[in-house]
A and B are shown apart, each in its own frame.
Chain A
Amino acid sequence: MSAEPNVRTLTINGEEISARSDQTILEAAREHNIAIPTLCHLEGLSEVGACRLCLVEVKGARRLLPACVTQVAEGMEVTTHNAKIDRYRTMILELFFAERNHVCSVCVANGNCELQSLSLQLGMTHVEIPYQYPQLPVDASHPRFTVDHNRCVLCTRCVRVCAEIEGANTWGVMGRGGQSLVITDLKQPWGDSETCTSCGKCVQVCPTGALFEKGRAGSKVRKHPEFLPYLRIMREGEQP
């Protein structure tokens, strides 16, 4: 296998970089310390392009493209930051905040939330879009964990980690658009789920306070999604 045809040369923000042909724009950018904000992306999980925060401009493309699911190509010219992209990203963040009830001050994840940090990082100080205030349930039927749909951003990290890493397939998504909900089994209470192994991986990868361990709040809610890549590497190593 020759390495040569697998290398692609592209520019990101004018900087010439090389990437493997199977890499995404996001992977290539991060390898070169070029920051692109993400929310649904998590190293160790498959990509879904759900949050749209990683939108970048690719010369010749008629719309902005999500960096996490766009493969690099020879001669590609990528821009990760400009006024238009920044405006779109802030708007996406505002939509997240307006869609459900993200009351940071009384959230268990206050101070340890990726949505909250993104608002700081992207300089979003207020939400222009009218808040929806939907009425959403909280399921505390599981002995150790709780799901609070008010804080869910539908990133589906829980769904992916449960299927791809734990192999339990407990989590799924029901409904469409803003009415979507992450559910356990066939929308049974989490505590009644027969497939859930109570491993807690979903809680660790949840970027907000939607999934949390009972009896923990504030600074104790620090999550540890960094275990994922290691787990992956170890398992791949075991394969014959």
Chain B
Amino acid sequence: MSDVKTLATVWLDGCSGCHMSLLDMDERLIELSSQFRLVYSPLVDCKTFPEHVDVTLVEGAVASVDDLKKIRKIREHTRVLVSLGDCALTGNVSAMRNSCGVQLVMLRVYEQNADLQKQVPTVGVPALLERVRPVHEVVPVDVFVPGCPPSADTIYQVLSELLAGKVPTLEGVAHFG
């Protein structure tokens, strides 16, 4: 089976809705499953990103230093990088904090709205970037799939074409929101 491609999915700053939509392909996942091997994903157990991946679907925006480190490494080891959904494409809800700045958000969440132990966490959690950024502002992206989330039909179309070695185009097919 030389045609079996390696597939990875990553979850940066998003709500996991795009992954839910991916699972919403239902039985079509089984249909496609003979064509790919899922090597890295929040849905599987592998902890390190493999050396070479054919297709990586990225959900979420780049919001923390950890996201930044991850996406750079992923880009380096991925042949076709797919921005999946509005957060990866536009920043979407994740980037709504950009208008007021990260300090204010921290203050609001961990001090003003907290009842106990009011403190901004610094240990064991990655620092947030001053600005949430769409994936393509950080690394080059090959395929853009808009939608919040992109429908299962759209993801099926994208995935089928990618696994067939084609570069899908979503122009005129899917829009933001």
B-side contacts of A131, CB under 8 Å: 90-91, 95, 98, 134
Q: Quick one: which of A101, A105, A117, A121 contacts B86, CB cutoff 8 A? A: A105
Q: Quick one: which of B83, B100, B134 contacts A135, CB cutoff 8 A? A: B100
B-side contacts of A119, CB under 8 Å: 175-176
Q: Quick one: which of A116, A121, A127 contacts B172, CB cutoff 8 A? A: A121
Whether A88 is near chain B, meaning CB under 8 Å from some CB there, is: no
Q: Which of B157-174 contact A (CB under 8 A)?
A: 170-174
Q: How large is the interface on A (under 10, 10 to 19, 20 to 34, 35 or more residues)?
A: 20 to 34
Check A130 against B96 for contact (C-beta < 8 Å): no
Decide: A107 near B177, CB < 8 A? Known: A126-B90, A126-B134, A131-B91.
yes
Check B177 against A110 for contact (C-beta < 8 Å): yes
Whether A103 is near chain B, meaning CB under 8 Å from some CB there, is: yes
Using CB atoms, name the residue of chain B closest to A124: B171
Q: Which of B122-154 contact A (CB under 8 A)?
A: 131, 134, 136-137, 141, 144-146, 148
Whether B92 is near chain A, meaning CB under 8 Å from some CB there, is: yes
A41 CA to B133 CA, complexed, in Å: 33
Check A101 against B96 for contact (C-beta < 8 Å): yes
Whether A233 is near chain B, meaning CB under 8 Å from some CB there, is: no
Binary A-proximity of B88-131 (CB < 8 A = 1, otherwise 0): 01111101101110000000000000000000000000000001
A-side contacts of B174, CB under 8 Å: 120, 125
Number of interface residues of B (CB under 8 A): 29
A-side contacts of B148, CB under 8 Å: 104-105
Decide: A117 near B134, CB < 8 A? Known: A103-B96, A106-B93, A133-B98.
no
A124 CA to B171 CA, complexed, in Å: 6
How far in angstroms is the closest Cβ of chain A from B56? 17
Q: Which of A68-93 contact B (CB under 8 A)?
A: none
Q: Quick one: which of A116, A123, A124, A133 contacts B177, CB cutoff 8 A? A: A116
Using CB atoms, name the residue of chain B closest to A134: B99
Check A125 against B98 for contact (C-beta < 8 Å): no
Q: Quick one: which of A105, A110, A128 contacts B93, CB cutoff 8 A? A: A105
How far in angstroms is the closest Cβ of chain B from A157? 21
Check A126 against B98 for contact (C-beta < 8 Å): no
Chain B CB count within 10 A is highest, among A117, A123, A131, for A131
Whether A111 is near chain B, meaning CB under 8 Å from some CB there, is: yes
A106 CA to B92 CA, complexed, in Å: 9
Using CB atoms, name the residue of chain A closest to B177: A104
Decide: A127 near B90, CB < 8 A? Known: A105-B148, A133-B98.
yes
Check A133 against B175 for contact (C-beta < 8 Å): no
Using CB atoms, name the residue of chain B closest to A100: B99
A27 CA to B3 CA, complexed, in Å: 54
Decide: A104 near B176, CB < 8 A? Known: A126-B89, A126-B134.
yes
B-side contacts of A133, CB under 8 Å: 95, 98-99, 131
Check A103 against B92 for contact (C-beta < 8 Å): yes
Q: Which of B69-92 contact A (CB under 8 A)?
A: 83, 86, 89-92
A136 CA to B141 CA, complexed, in Å: 30
Check B177 against A126 for contact (C-beta < 8 Å): no
A128 CA to B134 CA, complexed, in Å: 10
Given contacts A104-B148, A104-B176, 5 further A-B contacts (CB under 8 A): A104-B177, A105-B176, A106-B93, A110-B177, A125-B146
Interfacial residues, chain B to chain A (CB-CB below 8 A): 83, 86, 89-93, 95-96, 98-100, 131, 134, 136-137, 141, 144-146, 148, 170-177
Between A and B, 7 residue pairs with Cβ closer than 8 Å are A103-B95, A104-B86, A113-B177, A116-B175, A117-B175, A119-B176, A123-B172
5 smallest CB-CB distances across A and B, nearest first, come from A104-B177, A123-B171, A105-B148, A133-B98, A120-B175
